[in-house]
Amino acid sequence: YQVSLRISDMRDTVAAYARNDMRMSKAAQELHMSRRAVEERLKRIRQETGKDPRRFFDLVALLEKWKNM
């Protein structure tokens, strides 16, 4: 059983990943969590949105979707 991520958690994770040039380790440092936790969040985001933030164009689409939230 998995609880879905809050939109704010998804947005913050995607934004940190983008700010850090799609580098999970750097995003993890910024978010004060492990690299594995960021990797799991990115997988969950893909499952919940149908967009894979590890792919550049999907990342841009997610950032655009959430930029005013």
Q: 3-state SS string over the chain?
A: CCCCCCHHHHHHHHHHHHHCCCCHHHHHHHHCCCHHHHHHHHHHHHHHHCCCCCCHHHHHHHHHHHCCC
Q: What is the pLDDT of residue 17?
A: 98
CA 39/CA 28 separation, integer angstroms: 9
Residue 67's closest CA among 17, 4, 12, 5?
12
Tens digits of pLDDT across the chain (69 residues): 466 778 899 999 999 999 999 999 999 999 999 999 999 999 999 999 999 999 999 999 999 998 877
pLDDT of residue 2: 63
Distance CA 58, CA 53 (A): 5
pLDDT score at 4: 74
